[in-house]
Amino acid sequence: MSEEETRGLLHGKAIQTSAPSISWRHHMCGPILFFHLFAFIMSYATSGLYIPQYLSRKLYPTRTMPVSAGSICIINETDISPESENIQKEAALFGIYTALVSGIPAVISNLLLGTFSDRFGRIFMFLAPTIGQMISKTIILFCVYYQFDINYILIGSAIEGVLGGYLAILMASFSYIADITENNKQRSVAITFLEIAVGVGAVVGRFSTGYFIKATNYVWPIFTSCCIYALLIFIIISVLPETRIPETGYRSTQKSCLNYVTTIFSFYISESNKGERWKYNICILIFFTTGITVVGKSGVDLLYQISQPFCWDSVKVGLYGALSSLFQNVICMGMIKILHLCLSDEGVSILGSLSGIAGFLITALATTDVMLYIAAIVGGGGVLTLPMIRAIMSRMTSPDKQGALFGGISAVETTCGIIGSLFFNSIYSHTVSFFRGTVYLVTASCVLVSLLLLLIFTICSRQTQTYKKVAEFDVKQQNDVFTKRH
């Protein structure tokens, strides 16, 4: 045993060896992420369509059968009925409950899972949220198959949140890639591969779910999701290699977790970060006000589409979701490189905010299917703001604090899902009776706040850079004068 290994064991820690040799097994994190998004989107869309159907049968057992699977419109119904309004209100309220019981524990889990994976290995970070998803989807499956009360679904949502939620697997994948790649273009290519896996998984999941429901029923898509998560658990345990050697020693782990959480908040409140603190605070506000409109309104979108005047069935909902995801996550993300030829990160963010505002305004006023598709195209650029804010904040942060920064951002993104769902579902349930598009006017207002904050950040940052350049020039001149005199 070497002297270094002996010293490490005396301190109660395992030694971090050199980077492992890369094999095909290490690249399995990409397929794992793809199948996770595919299974999650399939089960989420299926349960989102099933819940209004369940409420329709429970509240109005003698009501005319729906036009098709997924729609809550009754035959020959031209205007929204009081029954349809009540179903939408109850479904929106259930969405609030789901967001709360899953999102609140997920915020805490996302703050801590990153540190735990540094101490106990990356496999732990993959396995915990995957098991949570498996349990949650199994409970949904039993509720749908046996037509149990949908409140049992909340139990699965709570377990899912405690074990990290769906965002934890994304965080695990990016951490895993950082372990097996160098901090250069190799890592950029690998991260791009993971982003593509996320986008393609979402597109395939949305596109196939509608046809799957129409061809079978609500049971089989959720059963398929359960099987996929069971397969992923097997792959994670038996195929995916560990990239970090677990440390031993409870005291060290406890102290590291405390330091990690402290570092997350230091960007925004620490006196040692006083010169840059205002930038972090504005950026995280921009991320929040944009994030709640991206991840917090998916439940409202579904209710909006399956009721009057659209009355979409599961196929139309799935097709629209697939095309909008394809445009946003693939085409618009792919345009970032082109936009960078003439715009900075701040400029791309501003352009994205303008696109988002326009898209939400058109959606609020939409009365036909064509208008919804136009809104998806016009507003597709709204997703550009989030990755640009991540890039801006990452640029301001030293390499040894990148993990803490992105751990905090992940927690904020989870919080966006909670607050967005709570806020927008509540607005929708209270305004559906007189103007259904009110919620989209509110989302446009949120993005408008992001736009104003972006303009303030851009102007102040450029002024600060100008002052720094002037100060550096003055110092240089003074040094030149001093040099000439001596």
**292, 416 contact by CB (below 8 A):** yes
pLDDT in tens, 258-307: 666 777 788 888 877 777 888 999 999 999 999 999 888 888 898 898 88
Is 86 among the domain residues? yes
**109, 15 contact by CB (below 8 A):** no
Which is nearest to 20 in space by CA: 166, 134, 199, 180? 180
pLDDT of 433? 83
pLDDT of 250? 47
CA 236, CA 84: separation in Å to the nearest integer?
44
Is 1 among the domain residues? no
Is 7 among the domain residues? no
pLDDT of 212? 92
Is 180 among the domain residues? yes
Crossing angle between the packed helical segments 153-162 and 122-145, to the nearest 10 degrees: 180
**What are 453's two structure tokens?**
């904050």
Q: Give the global pTM.
A: 0.76
Half-sphere exposure of 157 (CA within 13 A, CB side): 21
Is 155 among the domain residues? yes
The residue ranges of the chain whose pLDDT is under 70 are 1-20, 63-72, 74-81, 114-119, 182-192, 245-260, 399-400, 402-403, 465-486
Residue 173, number of CB atoms within 10 A of its CB: 23
pLDDT of 10? 38
| Spatial CB neighbours of 411, under 8 Å, sequence gap ≥ 6 | 107, 110, 111, 264
Radius of gyration of the chain (CA): 25
**166, 126 contact by CB (below 8 A):** no
What is the total count of domains within the chain?
1
pLDDT of 268? 87
> What CATH number is given to the structural domain containing 48?
1.20.1250.20
Is 16 among the domain residues? no
pLDDT of 265? 81
Residue 332 DSSP symbol: I
Is 2 among the domain residues? no
Q: What is the span of the domain harbouring residue 133?
A: 22-469
**232, 42 contact by CB (below 8 A):** no
pLDDT of 8? 42
CA 120, CA 46: separation in Å to the nearest integer?
35
**422, 96 contact by CB (below 8 A):** yes
DSSP string for 277-310: HHHHHHHHHHHHHHHHHHHS-HHHHHHHHHSTTT
Residue type, 157: S
Backbone angles phi, psi at 74, to 5 degrees: -95, 165
Is 480 among the domain residues? no
Residue 67 DSSP symbol: S
Burial 380-405 (b: 16+ CB within 10 A, else e): bbbbbbbbbbbebbeeebeeeeebbb
Backbone angles phi, psi at 357, to 5 degrees: -60, -45
Burial (CB count <10 Å: 0-12, 13-18, 19+), residue 62:
exposed
